[in-house]
């Protein structure tokens, strides 16, 4: 099973539902539809509406983040996993580099993962090295620390998806070579097999994936899908990514 996950970031109003309707229409007729799952993470404001409309459809809805306390607290602007689950989301991103940048550390991320899993939200856990770390050949050391500091054997690996997103690639048009990515994916799965004892959760790639760049990732069997930012805001681009992947 492959995953195509669209991260809308700070984008969308209730009318933006038309984008998802087009994607859903494509997916329901696609001859490859059984081979993949589509998940969209809109902003908090749209989760309830979208989750209701796409209940039992081809698209699942997730949040882009969640708070590290549960179910309620006195923290202004915080939204807990319990609250997210209660409006119909099935997934949540945790550890996106945008949020790590704003102060999410490993300790906090671990609480987020624990509360999300407790509320039966599947976790899309984002990891990735920055430009300097890559230049200094620290990629695997960084990824290993990000994974080992947060994930535990007792978490059910079926409820966790890893999104490898090199920070230098997000929104920049810069891509790892397929050989580079294949090697990194193999290393990530090795680390995960160590944590989870034997089997690894799914590992996705994210960073400047669009309808053109998707072609270079087709041959990398170790990659179980994609986390797509910018290109997920256009139904045409998102559909073309899926089409070109299976072409």
Where along the sequence are the contacts to ligand PEP (CB under 6 A)?
7, 165, 170-171, 206-209, 227-230
How many residues would you count in the chain?
247
Instruction: Give the shortest CB-185-to-ligand PEP separation in angstroms.
Output: 16
Which one of 68, 96, 129, 211 is the catalytic residue?
Answer: 96
> Catalytic: 68?
no
Give the separation between CA 85 and CA 48, rounded to whole angstroms: 10
Instruction: Give the shortest CB-160-to-ligand PEP separation in angstroms.
Output: 17
Contact (Cβ atoms closer than 8 angstroms) between residue 223 and residue 203: yes
Nearer to ligand PEP, 139 or 208 (CB): 208
Helix (H, G, I), strand (E, B) or coil at 246: helix
Nearer to ligand PEP, 71 or 171 (CB): 171
Give the separation between CA 216 and CA 12, rounded to whole angstroms: 29
Nearer to ligand PEP, 147 or 170 (CB): 170
Which one of 68, 129, 133, 165 is the catalytic residue?
Answer: 165
Give the separation between CA 180 and CA 39, rounded to whole angstroms: 26
Helix (H, G, I), strand (E, B) or coil at 146: helix
Nearer to ligand PEP, 66 or 70 (CB): 66
Closest CB to ligand PEP: residue number: 229
Contacts 24+ apart (CB under 8 A), 77-81: 79/44, 80/115, 81/112, 81/115, 81/116, 81/118, 81/119, 81/121
Instruction: Give the shortest CB-9-to-ligand PEP separation in angstroms.
Output: 6
Instruction: Give the shortest CB-209-to-ligand PEP separation in angstroms.
Output: 5
Catalytic residues: 96, 165
């Amino acid at each position: 099973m492959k995953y195509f996950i669209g991260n809308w970031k700070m984008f969308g109003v209730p009318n933006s539902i038309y984008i998802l309707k087009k994607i859903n229409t494509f997916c329901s007729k696609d001859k490859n539809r059984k081979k993949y799952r589509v998940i969209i993470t809109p902003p908090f404001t749209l989760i309830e509406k979208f989750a209701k409309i796409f209940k039992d459809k081809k698209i699942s809805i997730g949040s882009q983040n969640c708070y590290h306390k549960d179910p309620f607290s006195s923290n202004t602007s915080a939204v807990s996993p319990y609250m997210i689950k209660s409006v119909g989301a099935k997934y949540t991103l945790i550890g996106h580099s945008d949020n790590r940048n704003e102060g999410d550390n490993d300790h906090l991320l671990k609480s987020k993962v624990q509360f999300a899993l407790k509320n039966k939200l599947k976790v899309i856990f984002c990891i990735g090295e920055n430009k300097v770390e890559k230049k200094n050949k620290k990629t695997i050391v960084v990824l290993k620390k990000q994974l080992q500091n947060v994930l535990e054997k007792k978490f059910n690996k079926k409820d966790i998806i890893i999104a490898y997103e090199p920070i230098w690639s997000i929104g920049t048009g810069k891509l790892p070579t397929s050989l580079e990515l294949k090697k990194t994916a193999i290393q990530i799965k090795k680390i995960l097999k160590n944590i989870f004892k034997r089997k690894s959760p799914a590992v996705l790639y994210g960073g400047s994936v669009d309808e053109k760049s998707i072609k270079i990732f087709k041959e990398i069997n170790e990659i179980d899908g994609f986390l797509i930012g910018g290109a997920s805001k256009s139904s045409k681009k998102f559909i073309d990514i899926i089409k070109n992947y299976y072409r």
